[in-house]
Structure 1
Amino acid sequence: PRLCSLEEGVAGSGTYTRHGYVCAALAGCLAKTSEDGALPVVSVVRDAESQLLPDVGAIVTCKVCSINSRFAKVHILYIGSTPLKSTFRGTIRREDIRATEKDKISLGDMQSNYVLSTAENELGVVVAHSEAGAQMVPISWCEMQCPRTHSKELRKVARVQPEFLQT
């Protein structure tokens, strides 16, 4: 939601600017601070006990619920390495499945979905299952293969950093 116009305040933590307004990027309490007659810095502060919420730029782990030719619907399960108390809905649009240009991605849509992207090498599919039910193996940055049938499927494969691999 809009908090104020850019004529009334400057975006601080927990906010972003869009179309001349400072908007909340997360749920929380509104805080305004100003110094020496300058425009106040508008921030959104979360209660430490409140539910962790996805923030702009957060790395999340999701499970794909449905997919069609234009987008994938997902449930957000983790923010960073922290499991969520309840899942959030998200959308990965076909045009946001890419390796670059992460600054061109929108922040959300009117259905309270988070709009997600794979616009970094480290982001993408980590685990996938083939139609035969086998866990697929990545064979390149854009393909995974079924170890049973040897069929290949296009996927934007995540390059998982070694420190995040579970043993």
Structure 2
Amino acid sequence: MEESIISLVTPGEILGKASQLKAGKGAYVNTTTTTTTKEAPLVYASLTGLPRFVPPSPHSADQRPTVEVTGHKAHGAVPQPASIVIARVTKVMARMASADIMCVGPKSVREKFTGIIRQQDVRATEIDKVEMHSSFRPGDIVKAQVLSLGDARAYHLSTAKNELGVVSAESASGATMVPISWTEMQCPLTGQTEPRKVAKVET
């Protein structure tokens, strides 16, 4: 289950090389750049969801596995207290951040659920020193735990545990940043670091 949560993909995210994978439902091959460049075409996700790799038939001439992205289910999941969710940060304010919940565990949500991460729920220590703008930025993908259903149908979320926090963030240059500590992420293109409440990667 943990692997399914981590493998959440969003539209435009690279799934692999077209020479090694076939694009199935929820995926596509971008061939527009291959006429002007020598780079091999890539397979991209066309929706938010979980990738699944289907092995080829033993009798098939093409032995590449097919990658599919399973998106919103008809029986969409609903957040519950203590649930682990994946959410995209939409707005960061002085004392809280709001986010759209995308997945509950490994299952995509069908309806729109809004979550709020309050200043006191960002981390477990030195709560009074937490700065929201140094913890999250709009567009960040966070892993959080549902505390309760708060006001105005917005769920109260927590990232206080070590394994909770930002799992994916984009730098100003448009690159996916790499965590270098529990408080910083680094752009692989420019080397510039940005503060975040980083989720500890489980090994």
TM-score normalised over the length of structure 2: 0.49
How many angstroms does 1:155 deviate by? 0.9
> Sequence identity of aligned pairs in percent?
45
- Tell me the equivalent position of 2:192: 151
2:41 corresponds to: none
Query: What is the deviation of 1:92?
Result: 0.8
Aligned with 1:65 (options 90, 106, 115): 90
Distance 1:80 1:160 in 2: 16
Residue in structure 2 matched with residue 54 of structure 1 by the alignment: 79
- SS of the equivalent of 2:120 reads helix
Q: Deviations over 1:136-157 (max 9, x none)?
A: 1100011101122222111111
8 Å contact from structure 2 (residues 80, 148) kept in 1: no
Between the two proteins, the alignment pairs up a number of residues equal to 111
Mapping for residues 2-17 of structure 1, pairs under 5 Å: none
Identify unmatched segments of 5+ residues in structure 1: 1-48, 163-167
Higher relative contact order (CA 8 A, sep 6+): 2
| Structure 1 equivalent of residue 19 of structure 2 | none
1:123 match: 164
* Structure 1 counterpart of 2:114: 89
Q: SS where residue 72 of structure 1 aligns? A: strand
Query: How far 1:106 moved relative to its partner?
Result: 5.8
Q: 5+ unaligned residues in a row in structure 2: which ranges?
A: 1-73, 126-145
Superposition TM-score, scaled by structure 1 size: 0.59
- CA distance 1:110–1:95, shift in 2 (3 Å): same
Deviation, 1:51, is 4.7
Shift of the alpha carbon at 1:50?
A: 6.3
